[in-house]
Structure 1
Amino acid sequence: MMTDLFIPFYSATYSRKYLTEKYEAKQISQPKTKSYQVCSSFMYHLQHGQLYFNQAINSPIEIKPVLLFYGAVQLLKACILTTDPNYPENSQVLAHGVTTRKRKKSTYRFLDDEVKVQKNGLFAHFLDKMFHMKHLEGEKYQMVTLFHHIADMHPLFLRLTNKSLSFKGDLKQKTILLPPNVLDQYHMTVNRFEQYLEVNTVNNKSIKVKVIETKENVQITSSHLPPTWNSNPWLYDRDRNIYFFQERDYLKAYSLPELATHFLLLYNLSMICRYEAEWWGDLIHTFDGVDFPYISHYLHVVERKVPLIISSFLEENMGD
């Protein structure tokens, strides 16, 4: 049960004050009136999202993806209301905003599957309202790529493929310690690495990074650590350990925040769960192929992680 994560928001007085402050910071007209109008919807979205996740934890894997996806949707809608009191303004933003391709049953592998972004819908809307990101209509994302950008999946990839995706950082206050070979891996000097991190670390404020190289490690001190809800190019696992990709190629063509990554994965898994019963049943009961360990582990991770990220967004969001 994860009720405690959002317990302060289950007070209308507290939630109205919280929403009013958010709207005032964004210079939204009539912030007090708007907060009164959306307060109940905001609280119910959080509550319904929690109910879905709590049920998912206690449900068999056969139906778990559906519960997790709709739980994530409810929590995302609550987050949108902190920045957009008029949501939903039209029916276009109610659609999911992504689609999947037709499957070929004989050769289908989940890791090779793709989801395609549509012009309108919830996906584009929450990227815009929560992360100030615009997306390219028609952009496609492969499932294995999405899994790569979930830090909690990296130990499993190492076990199954014998390939390490990331360095695991040791986080001490505002200092991150990485192995000494990170600079060689990125072909960068200390100064170049500092500049790279300052430019690429997601933060609405300008950050200063100091990098010190020793024989034991590379010490990275930042004026602002990346928030857990949008940490590119860093990744957090559900225990708040921090990771950094070993290869720059993983970062070049990917800029989605982790919540968007989870949305795409859960959308596709929920569609398969609902409409591809034969493949889904075979996956679960025959252990055929390589997909099952990744999917099973991911569903276990996401049960706890998405509510944590949403909670962090509501508590830590300093982008106003």
Structure 2
Amino acid sequence: MQNKGWKELELFYSVETAQNFLEMVYKNLGMDDAKKNSYKNGERFIFFLKHAEAFYKQAKMASIEIKPILLFYGMAQLLKACILTSDPSYPSHTSVLAHGVTTRKRKKQNYLFYEDEVKIQRNGLCMHVIQSLFQLKGLEDERFSMKQLLVNIPEINNVLSFQKRENPMVKAVLDKGCIRLPAYTADAYNMSAQRFIEHVKYHLNWVLSGKDKDWLTFSADQKEYHPSTSTSLLFDLESGTFLFPAARDRFLKLPEILIHYLIAYNLSMIARYETEWWYDLLLQCASDDYVIIQQFLHITEKKFPYYIAKLLLQKKEDNKKDQLI
């Protein structure tokens, strides 16, 4: 899976290709000086990708003690490359250079990673990605627990289930521009079918387009049909399936790319500044945190570059469609 993501990203490793791609994207967004900006950013775009790849190569060989740091900085470089597709002047001011996330002060005793929190700051890379790349609003100063974030990564579910942390999901079917959910999903929410339909419309802005005894069919914004941009559906890379949380209060309205970034930030801070707790966890394996962290690092090393590749390739595909209209 990791090789596939990087193999697709390497398609952009040509200045000519990068410049043509960026020019196409800028024109599609109606930006002035599309050609000029594409020439200015072509090499920068490739350098961000290559620098990210260097971090990931080192992370693949590194021990778990320093792996979170390398993966986090690799993620940041990949996100910077993506930002150039929506903000050709990046970085236009110094406030967007910080990570844009903070963690609460840690307690020395009884600290559990699974219950820790991160907070999105008003300025920095994270907020710039949220606003510029995903056009999301209302996340300033928002706090998320590691539990809230981790349950939205489907591949983690095996670990959570093994540890008896329930995280029910149902398989969603994407077919001909529609999203189909099993009719019994409403039962999981302890709702009637009609109440569940209203709930989904209110919270997710999905519109019912069909209903029978087995399936509820919805139409949704185009971003929901792509793993790298969906804020409601979850994507399991190992099985290639879309999933829908079968429990309330699981919708963070965040693309999974940002979920990985927030978790990796926290882990990188622990690896850098909470050395005593970090090594106690790694050497003693005393809590369930160890297995959760280990599995997350294994998953994100493969999945994050895959998502970034899909995000960039989708932009290229969207531009092709617009040219045909």
Indicate whether the TM-score tops 0.5: yes
Look up the SS of the partner of 1:236 in the other structure. strand
Gaps of 5+ in 1: 202-206
Structure 1 residues 18 and 209: CA distance shift in structure 2, 3 A: farther
CA 1:199–1:272: 2 relative to 1, 3 Å: closer
Number of paired residues? 311
Match of 2:169 in 1: 166
Displacement over 4 Å in runs of 4+: 170-180, 221-225
Instruction: Give deviations 1:90-131, integer Å, cap 9, x for gaps.
Output: 111001111112211211110111112222110110111111
* 1:176 positional shift: 5.7
| Aligned partner (choices 81, 85, 92) of residue 84 of structure 2 | 81
Q: Residue by residue, what CA displacement relative to the aligned partner does 1:282-319 show, whole Å, maximum 9, x if unpaired? A: 11111112211111101000000000110111011349
Give, in whole Å, the separation in 2 of the partners of 1:63 and 1:141. Answer: 24
* Conserved? CA contact 2:174–2:225, under 8 Å: no
1:111-167 Cα offsets, whole Å, 9 max, x none, are 111112222110110111111113443221111111111121122211211523312
In 2, are the aligned partners of 1:238 and 1:301 still within 8 Å (CA)? Answer: no
Per the alignment, in what secondary structure is the counterpart of residue 163 of structure 2? helix
| Contact preservation (8 Å) 2:114, 2:289 | yes
Does residue 1:108 correspond to 2:105, yes or no? Answer: no
Identity of aligned residues (%): 36
Q: How does 1:1-320 map to 2 (within 5 A)?
A: 2=3, 3-161=6-164, 163-169=166-172, 178-186=181-189, 187-189=191-193, 193=197, 196=200, 200=204, 209-214=208-213, 217-218=214-215, 220=217, 222=219, 226-239=225-238, 240-251=240-251, 254-317=252-315, 318=318
Alignment-mate amino acid for residue 24 of structure 2 = E
Change (3 A) 1:221 1:134: closer
Distance 2:50 2:202 in 1: 37
* CA distance, structure 2, for counterparts of residue 53 and residue 179 of structure 1: 38
- Taking the aligned partners of 2:142 and 2:198, their CA distance within structure 1 comes to 31
- Secondary structure, counterpart of 2:225 in structure 1: coil
Deviation at 1:268, TM superposition (A): 0.5
2-side partners of 1:110 and 1:162: how far apart?
A: 15
**What displacement does 1:198 show?**
9.1
Note the alpha carbon deviations across 1:269-289, whole angstroms, 9 max, x for none: 001001111111111111112
> 1:156, 1:193 → 2: CA distance?
31
Judged with a 3 Å threshold, the aligned counterparts in structure 2 of structure 1 residues 7 and 198 are, in CA distance, closer, same or farther, namely: farther
Aligned pair in 2 of structure 1 residues 16, 180: CA closer, same or farther (>3 Å)?
A: same
Contact kept? 1:209, 1:220, Cα under 8 Å: yes
Q: What amino acid is aligned across from residue 84 of structure 2 in structure 1?
A: L
Question: Which residue identity is paired with 1:294?
Answer: I
Q: Following TM superposition, by how much is the alpha carbon of 1:173 offset from its aligned partner in structure 2, in angstroms? A: 6.7
In the alignment, is the contact (CA less than 8 A) between 1:190 and 1:212 conserved in 2? no
Query: SS at the partner of 2:144?
Result: strand
Helix, strand or coil: the match of 1:249? coil
* 3-state SS of 2:250 partner: helix
Which residue is 1:204 aligned to? none
1:220 counterpart letter in structure 2: T
Partner letter of residue 275 of structure 2?
Answer: A
Q: Which moved more, 1:130-139 or 1:89-98?
A: 130-139
SS in 1 for 2:107: coil
* Aligned partner letter, 1:213: D
Partners of 1:27 and 1:46 lie apart in 2 by 25
